[in-house]
Structure 1
Amino acid sequence: MKKIDSHLHVWAHDPDTYPYREGQAPPRDRGDAEFLLDLMDRADVDGALIVQPIVHGFDHSYVDDTIAQWPDRFVGMCLVDPQAPDPVGMLDELVGRGYRGVRFNPALWREGELMNGDVGQALYKRAGELGIPVGFLVSPNNYEEIETLASVYPDTDAIVDHFGHCVPNRDGSEVPAFERLLAMSRYPRINVKLSEFPRASNEEFPYIDLFDWVHRLIDEFSSDRLMWGTDFPFIVEQAGYSKGWEIADRIEPAIGPGLSDQILGGTCERLFGTWG
Structure 2
Amino acid sequence: MLNRRRVLAASLAAPLAHLSPSLAAQAAPLLIDSHVHVWKRDPAFPFAQGRKPPEFDASAEMLLDLMQANGVARTVIVQVIHYRWDNSYLADVLKRYPGQFHGIARVNPEDPAAPDHLSRLTLEQGFRGVRLSPSDQADGDWIRGPLMAPLWRRCAELKVPMTVLASGARMADLVPLIEKNPDLTVVIDHMADVPPDQPQLLEPLLALARFPRVYVKISHVPRLSKQAYPYADAFDQVKRVYDRFGAKRLMWGTDWPISLSELPYDKMVAVYRDHLGFLPAAERQYILSQTVQDIWPFGL
CA distance in 2, matches of 1:263, 1:52: 22
1:143 aligned to 151, 171, 174, which one?
171
TM-score with structure 1 length normalisation?
0.92
Q: Residue deviations 1:200-255, cap 9 Å, x none? A: 11123332211112122222111110011000002234211111121124436533
C-alpha separation in 2, matches of 1:204 and 1:32: 30
Q: Which sits farther off after the overlay, 186-195 or 214-223? A: 214-223
**1:261 partner letter:** Q
What is aligned with 1:99?
A: 127
Distance in structure 1 (CA, Å) of the matches to 2:133 and 2:201:
19
In structure 2, runs of 5+ residues without a counterpart are 1-28
Paired with 2:250 and 2:209, the residues of 1 have a C-alpha distance of 11
Q: Per chain length, whose mean CA-contact separation is higher, i.e. which structure has more relative contact order (CA < 8 Å, sep 6+)?
A: 1
Whose radius of gyration is greater, 1 or 2? 2
Could you tell me which residue of structure 2 aligns to residue 32 of structure 1?
59
**1:260 maps to amino acid:** R
Q: Counterpart of 1:262 in 2: which secondary structure?
A: helix
2:194 to 143, 163, 166: 166
Instruction: Specify which of 189, 210, 215 is matched with residue 186 of structure 1.
Output: 210
User: Which whole-Å CA distance do the structure 2 matches of 1:215 and 1:111 have between them?
Assistant: 33
Match of 1:13 in 2: 41
Residue 117 of structure 1: aligned partner: 145
Structure 1 contact 2–264 (Cα < 8 Å) conserved: yes
The 8 Å contact of residues 94 and 126 in structure 2, kept in 1 or not, is answered as no
Q: Say if 2:109 is the partner of 1:82.
A: yes
Measured in 1, the distance between the counterparts of 2:250 and 2:278 equals: 16
Distance in 2 between residues matched to 1:163 and 1:140, nearest whole Å: 8
Match of 2:82 in 1: 55
* In structure 1, C-alpha distance between the alignment counterparts of 2:226 and 2:199, rounded to whole Å: 14
Which piece of structure 1 moves more, 186-195 or 142-151?
Answer: 142-151
Under a length normalisation based on structure 2, what TM-score does the superposition of the two structures give? 0.85
| Contact 2:99–2:298 (8 Å) recurs in 1 | no
Q: Look up the equivalent residue of 1:74 and give its one-letter code.
A: F
- Unmatched tracts of structure 1, length 5 or more: none
Are residues 1:66 and 2:93 paired? yes
Cα shift at 1:29 = 4.1
Aligned to 1:229: 253
Deviations 1:5-27 (A, max 9, x none): 1011000122x211111100132
Equivalent position amino acid for 1:199 in 2: R
Contact 2:223–2:262 (CA<8 Å) still a contact in 1? no
The separation in 1 between residues aligned to 2:276 and 2:285, in whole angstroms, is 17
1:86-111 Cα distance to aligned partner (Å, 9 max, x none): 1111111111121111101125x994
The RMSD of aligned alpha carbons is: 2.0
Residue deviations 1:30-49 (CA, integer Å, cap 9, x gap): 31111111111111000110
Report how many residues are paired. Answer: 271
Maintained 8 Å contact 1:133/1:156: yes
Q: Distance in 2 between matches of 1:8 and 1:37?
A: 11
1:211 matches 2:239 = no
